[in-house]
Amino acid sequence: MIDISDKLVRINQADISEKCILDRLPKNVKHLYLERCELHFVPEKIRTFQDLQFLSLYNNHITELPIWLEELRNLRRLNVSANQLPILDSRIRNLENLEVLDLNHNLLQEVPEECIQLLKLKFLYLSGNCLSDLPEGIGRLKFLRYLNISHNQFSRLPKGVFNPFLQELRMYNNEVEELSHEISGLVSVRELHFDRNKICYITPDICHLQKLEVLSFRGNRLRELPKEIATLQNLQFLDLRENDLEEVPEEIQMLTHLKRLDLRLNPKIRLPQWIQTLEEYGCRIYF
């Protein structure tokens, strides 16, 4: 059954197998969902939907995006997650109104440099690929607010993440060993997620991230924390589970807005007496 409402169309696997099903759709469709339809290619009929703003091809078997995709100049959101894309065609740069690009769970080994021409991009999802680097120019996208590069093969923070406009970075399940001083360039960031890496060192320059509210290092190799973390006065959630910490800096009691501090599964850690100061501020401590 085709669900058509207010220029939004959802087509399931049974529908797409019906002959000429796309021919029956209104030409002014704006939202098209072709999810879990067992597609091996993008139907060419879609190129006639020039008003299309949202296209979801989630969870199919697509191995390449067609050249004509660049003709959909009104497209704002493109979801091709959970497919089998080994490369991303450079012509994607012509989708000049694109705000959300979801490429999670594909086979990408690189992101084309041309992506830096997507000047309106706000959300970029690249989790679950085979990436080890990013174009440096991603760090200059002025509207980019969210970047997810989790479950890849990064051994360091790529220069492309150091975007002064970025508000949330998710980079869990990689091979990163340290946070370099360049992280200080993330001056607008509110959430940093580095769970399940190999981080054993955090630069004191993290003190420059004054808008930071959520900081997560669960499942790393931290033995100590820089006392400069205590200068992050907007920090509300600090997750340090599953590390090798023996103590936390006394300066952390200065984090008066902290709501949650998680220290579980640090087998050598000893809780100091001053930790009660945080509890008096209303912070919940998990030990």
pLDDT digits (tens, 9 = 90+) for 99-152: 999 999 999 999 999 999 999 999 999 999 999 999 999 999 999 999 999 999
Q: State percent of the chain over pLDDT 90.
A: 89
Beta carbons within 10 angstroms of residue 126's beta carbon? 26
Pick 143 or 26 by higher pLDDT: 143
pLDDT score of 16: 62
pLDDT score of 10: 86
Who contacts 151 (Cβ-Cβ below 8 Å, separation ≥6)?
Answer: 127, 128, 129, 172, 173, 174
| pLDDT tier, 21 (very low <50, low <70, confident <90, very high otherwise) | confident
| pLDDT tier, 225 (very low <50, low <70, confident <90, very high otherwise) | very high
For the chain, the average pLDDT equals 94
Chain center to CA of 245: 27
| pLDDT tier, 2 (very low <50, low <70, confident <90, very high otherwise) | low
User: What's the token pair of residue 193?
Assistant: 């997620």
User: What's the token pair of residue 106?
Assistant: 């594909």
Q: Pseudo-torsion of CA 268, 274, 279, 285, nearest 10°?
A: -10
Q: State percent of the chain over pLDDT 70.
A: 95
Name the superfamily (CATH) of residues 176-287: Ribonuclease Inhibitor (3.80.10.10)
pLDDT score of 40: 96
Averaged pLDDT, 45-73: 97
* Rounded CA separation 89/168 (Å): 26
| pLDDT tier, 58 (very low <50, low <70, confident <90, very high otherwise) | very high
pLDDT score of 1: 44
DSSP letters, 230-280, are GG-TT--EEE--SS--S---GGGGG-TT--EEE-TT-TT----TTHHHHHH
Beta carbons within 10 angstroms of residue 14's beta carbon? 11
Burial of 127 (0-12, 13-18, 19+ CB in 10 A): buried
Who contacts 236 (Cβ-Cβ below 8 Å, separation ≥6)?
Answer: 213, 214, 257, 258, 259, 260
